[in-house]
Each structure stands twice: as C-alpha cells, then as structure tokens.
Amino acid sequence: MLNFEPHFEADLTLWILALSCVSGLLTALLMRKSEGSSWHVLCTLLFYASLLSVGLTAVCFIGAPSGLSLFPPITLGVMIVGATWDFRPAPATTL
C-alpha cells in the first residue's frame, strides 16, 4: 500500500518557512517606506510576488508538524494589514 502522507524534514521546513515569512514582512515594510518615491512600483511588485509566495507556502505546508504551519498565515495577515492600514496621524478635529 502506498503512503501519501507528506514527509517534512524539520530543518528544511523551518528554513523555507522562515525565508518566506521574513521576505514577506520585509517587502511589506519596503512597500510602505517607498511611498512617493520612484522605487514604489518595484517595491509594490515585489510585495505582490511575496504575497503570492507566502500564500503558496501557507497552502503547501498546512500539514507541517509542531505548529510551524501557523507562521505563513499569520505573516499573510500582517502583510495585508500592513499594506492597507493608514499609519498617518489623524487630523485634529474641532467641534
């Protein structure tokens, strides 16, 4: 009988997940920091590629042991919030 259970090597799994998550967070930061500069288009394209990469990593490693599979979805959420949240201070309103 064939065994179709995925086999995850701990070291390789950890490095792939770490690389994917760190690159995702760095591209989100670069995209926000490059607003208004000539590098913004490139940083945005890198962010979208990284968003796809982190999403695929989350799907591919969903069965990874010991809770390691939680990091890519959490990173994906942080990337989306970081890309859409307006960090500028709110203007003061007068009544």
In whole angstroms, give the CA distance from residue 17 to residue 70. 10
Which amino acid would we find at residue 15?
W
Say what the pTM is: 0.79
| Max Cα–Cα distance, the chain, nearest Å | 75
Q: What is the pLDDT of residues 3-49, one digit of tens each?
A: 556 676 777 888 888 999 999 999 999 998 888 899 999 999 999 99
Q: What is the DSSP letter of 90?
A: P
**Which tokens is 29 given?**
């930061």
pLDDT in tens, 73-83: 999 999 999 88
